[in-house]
Amino acid sequence: MMQKPLSGVVVLDLTRYLAGPYCTLLLAGLGAEVIKIEPPGKGDLHRRFPPFVGPKGAAGQPQTADDMGVFMLHRARNKKSITLDLYHPEGRELFKALCRKADVVVENYSPGVMDEMGASYATLRELHPGLILCSISGFGQTGPLRNWRAYDPVIQSMSGLASVTGYADRPPTRCGAAISDTVAPLFAIIGILAALRRREQTGAGEWVDIAMLDTSFFLQPDLLELLNGGIEPRRRGNTHAAGTPLNTYPTRDGFVTVAVTTDKNWQCLLAALEREDLKTDPRFATPLSPSGTATDRCRKLSPSRSRARTGARSDRLSDTLPGGGNSHSRTPLQSRCAPTCPPDHHSSTWSAPRRSRSPCRPWCRWLHYPRTVLW
């Protein structure tokens, strides 16, 4: 078996909830030996958080002694687990002994908690000058907001994500997925990998300080670019200021998402819909036209025509292009026309053949996953 890139790297995992465990989950996937440190007694909160999975399947309540929360099964996979009381002197000494042999420590406590446990970066650096500490928090380890409580909805609101999600006549809306919680660990991994590379060059460790608020700003480059171009970001539903038609439209058997951002996309879409008569219509000459008639060029398309595109929704559009319309392949349409797709529900997302190579899919099938051992 090919050796993974982080093989031989030892990571101590002091994380909880989502942002921290997701970081160490991905490090483990890259080959690191991740040792999850849980509090004594019942261990991580998500061991007993529903829904549960065990020998008898999934349920809202535990059905056997071997059942475990699905969140724990997902976020703790490929990790080892031990229990340590980091507020007890002996527990602290054991943790320090582990730190002397580790490469990375990842934690997402509130700022200051590591100091209270006698595990500040200054202390850890004295134990092991090459140790890398990664701290994930809502607003960073310094600054006036360092002590604010932060969960995903708070960060989505404060970063401006919620202000541009939803429709103009409705309140700011949180993204359906915990996007602020899951982007922070990606930046944490970038910082950890950079610190590991720097350590190869200098031998010195590093303190990687990740603020969820900062990382959520980085999710919005197009909005910041539009703002600098004089276009105020606002809630637009499924449309976008960068082009049109870019929206979700009804068909006879569901919805189709169309994303036209170039004139070539627009010309090909018209050909696919058999509406070449609109190619020279001056009202639709530019996707960024400020005129009301060009706010959404697709409104000119006959509703009866769009609703007649049945079968696999947008797949019928590819019938007019070379290659035909395979029920699970939009390659002709995607490569020669406007990007389109039906908005999938999660249940169909996991089962569709086009997702069969997804790296996340296998964990959805776990039924008899062994209980993580607490030493």
The continuous run of DSSP H or E covering 223 comes out as: helix 221-228
Return the pLDDT at 284: 74
Q: Which one from 74, 88, 128, 240 is the annotated catalytic residue?
A: 240
Catalytic-residue membership of 88: no
Reduced to 3 states (helix: H, G, I; strand: E, B; else coil), residue 14 is: strand
How does pLDDT run across 251-265, given as a tens digit for each residue? Answer: 777 888 888 878 888
Higher pLDDT, 343 or 43: 43
Instruction: For the chain, give the mean pLDDT.
Output: 79
How does pLDDT run across 202-212, given as a tens digit for each residue? Answer: 999 999 999 99
Return the pLDDT at 343: 59
Give the highest mean pLDDT range of 111-125, 234-248, 252-266, 359-373: 111-125
CB-based contact 173:152 (threshold 8 Å): no
CB-based contact 355:361 (threshold 8 Å): yes
How does pLDDT run across 270-326, given as a tens digit for each residue? Answer: 887 778 888 888 777 665 543 334 444 555 554 444 444 433 323 333 333 333 333
Return the pLDDT at 325: 35
Return the pLDDT at 320: 34
pTM for this one?
0.78
Lowest mean pLDDT among 58-67, 110-119, 150-159, 347-356: 347-356
How does pLDDT run across 14-60, given as a tens digit for each residue? Answer: 999 999 999 999 999 999 999 999 999 888 888 888 999 999 999 99
pLDDT at position 355 over 70: no
- Full DSSP string of 96-137: HHHHHH-SEEEE-SPTTHHHHTT--HHHHHHH-TT-EEEEEE
Reading the block at residue 202, the tokens are 């200098």
Beta strand segments in the chain, E: 10-14, 33-38, 52-54, 57-59, 68-69, 79-83, 104-107, 132-137, 206-211, 246-251, 254-259, 340-341
Return the pLDDT at 279: 81
Q: How far apart are CA 291 and CA 43, in angstroms?
A: 59
* Domains of the chain and CATH, by start: 10-40+84-218 (3.40.50.10540), 246-343 (3.30.1540.10)
